[in-house]
Amino acid sequence: MRSYSDFYRRSVDDSEAFWAEQARLIDWQTPPEQILDASRPPFARWFVGGTTNLCHNAIDRHLDARGDQPALICVSTETGLERSYSFRELHAEVQRTAASLLALGVKRGDRVLIYMPMIAEATFAMLACARIGAVHCVVFGGFASGSLASRIEDAEPTVIVSADAGSRGGKVLAYKPLLDEAIRLSKHKPAAVLLADRGLAAMDLVAGRDHLMRDLATQHRDALVPCAWLESTEISYTIYTSGTTGKPKGVQRDTGGYAVALAASMPHIFDARAGETYFCTSDIGWVVGHSYIVYGPLIAGMATILYEGLPTQGLDRQPDGGIWWQLVEKYKVTVMFSAPTAVRVLKKQDPALLKKYDLSSLRALFLAGEPLDEPTGRWIGEGLGVPIIDNYWQTESGWPIITIANGVEKKPGKLGSPGVPMYGWRVKILDESTGEELTTPNEKGVVVIEGPTPPGFMQTIWRDDARFVNTYWKTVPGKMVYSTFDWGIRDADGYFFILGRTDDVINVAGHRLGTREIEEAISGHGNVAEVAVVGVADALKGQVAVAFVVPRNADGVDGAGALALEGQIMQRVAEQLGALARPARVHFVTGLPKTRSGKLLRRAIQAVCEGRDAGDLTTIDDPATLQRIRQLLRP
């Protein structure tokens, strides 16, 4: 086994030679002429001059060696469906979808917005876009019309791919009415909408615009659509992440760098091998789903499980806290990837379920999306008897920044720490005020990354290079470094510990939400004068949103009146941003704590909510506002 410290050191000291080696893990139509162009920092261009295709690397190159092996395993405990596609079958389905998109006018470089549940057709659509050189933009299926409309307006898709409905816990959510309303709200109108009809909800089709996937797939049943060979630096996809300004950021990713980053991560980080099965329980609407449900496992020649449903619901749609472990046994899963919130849900189930199934194929469980607390990590580790490997990364990074490179050297983890910096990532902790590097163990500072950033990292913000630079690279005085906007410490052994956000983005069950977006939704209510939303620690979800509202008219905002207004505000947020963004509580106050210059002291509010010291309050304009919040929250 190699020494990881040597492996890492070479990746940062001789990065071009290192990544030239990793580039051999994928197929290139034209080899790269230049491994790295870092001539215009902070922009890094990888594998310049090379041409490749994500769909070719995920499917076509495996046809000769493993064409009849499982590639995509679809399991829905919402509908009771279980279906496996071989690489050859997936190849055919993707070509049918690609031909359908081409028939609807999609060209290389056009955007295709995908708003779908966790069904096979969503994967077909992503891979079909990659095949023909279209830029896909996947939007989480739980988003409401307002959020979806803003993304349609920003992405300007030629075609939107969606479905009649999704389902969660047996409750059907009709997507088509949400999509129709989003298109109505958006200034940009797609030329066509392509719809999967699952038979879950009736759909009103718009003549001339809406098309059913099954009809076009039948027309193109025997389609042969060649892969478009893209320049390595051409855009593969955009994906939206919450911002502190209330406007979502379209994270833009390249093609070649992303393919190489994922291809390298599968053996080096996950110790994953071709012919095995990978099970990531995320959603394709998030970057984890892009990287480790769809592209990463398939590029590695693995079968990947696409799961729709709760972790506590069986295929017979009855409660079953062992369904994931049943799938591990049935499909001989070797690597599993989930989130701490899901494990905390499973913790409430009968612990005997962890011993009921044969989990001998499983080598490790990776967890990400939010900090892993020690009790949860210890519980699942003891129950499964395999390494539990935390990992830290972001939508912007595309693959893990900090974890344990299990395939390079099986180092022990530390409870509460995601691990050590991964190869290619120059991770440092800086003093937020001075920009000085903090080298003494356990000094708290902001976690930053020095450029040039490795392959797979975001290229820029879609259509907004200036926002990319100003948002991420100019926050630390005197330094051009990428800010993760997370506080952290590094111990004497080099292990990092992430301590929470420095900005106004919160992490609810592994999903990033901008408090400003929630505040803007709430402030539109007629009886809201001011609002502050903070993320508060929660034993199950990691964090939940809590809103503090100053009503315009305080009369009647007590007892039943307060409950009614709280319900209206929660409904408004759910309608505009989706159920994920709905606050856990809305508290009504007469004033909000601010500095004398009028800046809201959200961190002080958050500290009071969590029972912590609110810190230096000498800058607060009216200390009584914070004291009233403290009294309001007393049991």
Residue 329's pLDDT is what? 98
Q: How far apart are CA 27 and CA 36, in angstroms?
A: 18
Quote the CA–CA distance of 113 and 102 in Å, as a whole number: 14
Which is it for strands 505-508 and 402-403: parallel, antiparallel or unpaired?
unpaired
Q: Which amino acid is at 250?
A: G
Ranges of the chain with pLDDT below 70: 1, 242-246, 503-504, 512, 556, 595-599, 615-622, 635
- What does the H/E/C string look like for 87-113? HHHHHHHHHHHHHHHHHCCCCCCCEEE
Cβ–Cβ under 8 Å, residues 291 and 300: no
CA distances from 553 to 333, 400, 546, 629 (A): 57, 48, 21, 19
Report the alpha-carbon distance of residue 59 to residue 130 in Å, rounded.
11
Q: Write the pLDDT tens digit of every residue in 443-459.
A: 989 999 999 999 999 99
Assess contact for 31 and 229: CB atoms under 8 A.
no
Angle at 290 between CA 232 and CA 499, to 5 degrees: 105
The secondary structure of residue 579, as a DSSP letter, is G
Q: For residue 618, what pLDDT is reported? A: 47
DSSP, res 242: -
Look up the pTM and report it. 0.85
Tokens of 531: 């609002």
- Please give the torsion angle defined by the CA atoms of residues 438, 444, 445 and 450, in that order, rounded to the nearest 10 degrees: 50
CB atoms within 10 A of CB 612: 12
Structure tokens of 533? 């939303």
pLDDT at 374: 77
What's the length of the chain?
Answer: 635
| One-letter-per-residue 3-state SS of 524-541 | CCCCEEEEEEEEEEECCC
If DSSP codes are grouped into helix, strand and coil, which group holds residue 280? strand
* Predicted pLDDT of residue 185: 96
Q: Are domains 84-223 and 509-632 of this chain identical in fold?
A: no
HEC profile of 181-207: HHHHHCCCCCCEEEEECCCCCCCCCCC
For residues 304 and 72, the answer to whether their CB atoms sit within 8 Å is: yes
Residue pair 381/352 in contact by the 8 Å Cβ criterion: no
- Residues 6 or more apart whose CB falls under 8 angstroms from that of 314 comprise 77, 320, 322, 323, 326
Pairing of strands 542-551, 528-538: antiparallel
- pLDDT value for 616: 52
Cross-strand pairs, 159: 112, 192
DSSP states along 136-192: EEE--TT--HHHHHHHHHHH--SEEEEESEEEETTEEEEHHHHHHHHHHH-SS--SE
Compute the distance between CA of residue 100 and CA of residue 87 in angstroms, rounded to an integer: 20
DSSP 316-362: TSSB-TTHHHHHHHHHTEEEEEE-HHHHHHHTTS-TTHHHHS--TT-
Give the residue from 95, 19, 92, 50 showing the smallest Cα distance to 263: 19
Q: Residue 473 and residue 465: Cα distance in Å, rounded?
A: 11
Cα separation of 147 and 242, whole Å? 11
| CB atoms near residue 246 (< 10 Å) | 16
**CA triple 149-296-256, angle to 5 deg:** 80
Q: Which amino acid belongs to residue 287?
A: V
CATH class of 426-501: mainly beta
Beta-carbon contacts of residue 563 (< 8 Å; ≥ 6 apart): none
* Domain 84-223 = CATH 3.30.565.10: no
- Print burial letters for 474-495: b (CB count within 10 Å at least 16), e (below 16): ebbeebebbbbbbbbbbeeeeb
Distinct helix (H) and strand (E) counts, the chain:
21, 32
Residue among 270, 324, 258, 323 nearest 297 (CA) = 270
Please tell me whether residue 607 adopts helix, strand or coil conformation. helix
Token pair of 57 as six digits: 């690397």
Please tell me the CATH superfamily of domain 509-632, with its number. ANL, C-terminal domain (3.30.300.30)
Please list the residues that pair with 402 across neighbouring strands. 392, 421
* Domain ranges within the chain, ordered by starting residue: 84-223, 426-501, 509-632
Q: Please name which of 130, 315, 138, 346 lies closest in space to residue 225, comparing C-alpha atoms.
A: 130
- Tell me the three-class secondary structure of 481-519, residue by residue: CEEEEEEEEECCCCCEEEEEECCCEEEECCEEEEHHHHH
